[in-house]
């Protein structure tokens, strides 16, 4: 009996050793490149550097961010622009991605599914600089197909950049919905056909309810990505995106705060405080979403 207990203990210990052996590299990578930078950023944000000397100032950088009229005004303006950037992505991206996924899983293009899937996903593989250059040429009032300065007008600049971004990344939500659609058991769809259900009725009555949780995942991923957005706006509009900061978002505001831009002097300590506030905002919104909404999204049982 004692020997059997010892063998069981050694087997369990061996399993945990192997588990630790295989997970340790990934855990170390995560700690070094994800956890440590977060704590280091907060650590930097509670100091102030002057003349090469650092002094502890507590939460003064955070107080300055929310009380200084200039910095506070730019922060809230960038946040509102970022929320608009996210809303445009959400409103346009999900319906278009759903339409694309439905089309490439339909019987009409069954033989060319791989071709269409590849073509629609290609923009997501392109460099942001290339995407920005292509679209700048297309919408240029001088040699493009649009005679109106879309990027030079406050009312149209941010929506235009949003549609450029949607065009580039629409393949990501399309793949999520495509994989959800092809995972639906074929016997369920065949039973619907036998019962005389049309393609449209089968989609909205069977397929759509079964892929509902994917919309929650796409929503939160889109929120996280757009709140961390920076590349396409910076590549087209610079670090002080105009006109009149109408395309300024949290990413570009952080860039100016940390690195500076043109005649704007950067402050690494204050920039770290801005980065921490952005991270906490995304974290709180994401956690709230999962607690309040995501757990309610369940596929319908047939």
pTM over 0.95: no
Q: Give the pLDDT band of residue 226 (cuts 50, 70, 90).
A: very high
Output the average pLDDT for the chain.
86
Q: Give the pLDDT band of residue 302 (cuts 50, 70, 90).
A: very low
85 belongs to a structural domain = yes
Q: Which helix (H) or strand (E) holds 161?
A: helix 154-169
Residue 52, pLDDT > 80, answer no
DSSP label at 243?
S
CA atoms of 169 and 121, how far apart (whole Å): 8
Q: Quick one: 203 and 76 in the same domain?
A: yes
Segments forming the whole domain that contains residue 87? 70-296
What would you report as the CA-atom Rg of the chain, rounded to the nearest whole angstrom? 25
Q: If you average pLDDT over residues 86-112, what whole number do you get? A: 88
Q: How many domains does the chain have?
A: 2
173 belongs to a structural domain = yes
Are 176 and 120 within 8 A, CB to CB?
A: no
54 belongs to a structural domain = no
Least confident of 30-39, 153-162, 190-199, 260-269: 190-199
Q: Which two tokens stand for residue 10?
A: 């050694």
CA atoms of 281 and 288, how far apart (whole Å): 11
Residues 209, 210, 213, 217, CA torsion sign: negative
Q: How distant, in Å, are the alpha carbons of 70, 89, 134, 164 from that of 218?
A: 35, 11, 26, 18
Q: Quick one: 244 and 159 in the same domain?
A: yes
CA atoms of 85 and 68, how far apart (whole Å): 25
302 belongs to a structural domain = no
- Neighbour-count burial of 162, counting CB atoms closer than 10 A to its CB (0-12 exposed, 13-18 middle, 19+ buried): buried
Cβ-proximal residues to 163 (8 Å cutoff; 6+ apart), any chain: 88, 92
Report the share of the chain in percent with pLDDT over 90: 39
290 belongs to a structural domain = yes
User: Strands 264-265, 47-50: parallel, antiparallel or unpaired by DSSP?
Assistant: unpaired
Provide the 3-class DSSP secondary structure of residue 269. Answer: helix
């Amino acid at each position: 009996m004692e020997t059997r207990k010892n063998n069981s203990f050694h087997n369990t210990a061996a399993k945990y050793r192997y588990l630790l052996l295989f997970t340790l590299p990934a855990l170390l990578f995560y700690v070094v490149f994800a956890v440590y930078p977060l704590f280091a950023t907060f650590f930097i944000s509670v100091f102030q550097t002057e003349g090469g000397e650092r002094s502890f100032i507590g939460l003064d950088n955070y107080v300055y961010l929310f009380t200084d009229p200039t910095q506070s005004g730019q922060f809230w303006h960038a946040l509102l622009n970022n929320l608009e950037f996210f809303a445009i992505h959400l409103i346009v991206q999900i319906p278009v991605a759903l339409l694309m996924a439905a089309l490439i899983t339909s019987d009409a293009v069954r033989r060319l599914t791989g071709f269409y899937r590849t073509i629609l996903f290609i923009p997501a593989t392109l460099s942001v600089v290339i995407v920005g250059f292509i679209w700048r040429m297309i919408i240029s009032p001088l040699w493009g197909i649009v005679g109106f300065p879309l990027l030079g007008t406050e009312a149209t600049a941010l929506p235009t950049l949003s549609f450029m971004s949607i065009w580039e990344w629409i393949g990501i939500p399309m793949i999520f919905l495509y994989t959800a659609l092809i995972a639906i058991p074929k016997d369920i769809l065949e039973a619907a056909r036998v019962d005389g259900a049309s393609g449209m009725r089968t989609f909205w009555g069977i397929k759509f309810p079964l892929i509902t949780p994917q919309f929650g995942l796409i929503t939160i991923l889109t929120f996280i990505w757009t709140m961390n957005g920076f590349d396409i706006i910076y590549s087209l509009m610079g670090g002080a995106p105009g006109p009149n900061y109408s395309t300024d978002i949290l990413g570009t505001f952080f860039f100016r705060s940390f690195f500076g831009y043109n005649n704007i002097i950067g402050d690494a300590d204050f920039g770290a405080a801005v980065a921490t506030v952005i991270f906490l905002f995304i974290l709180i919104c994401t956690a709230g979403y999962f607690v309040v909404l995501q757990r309610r999204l369940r596929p319908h049982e047939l």
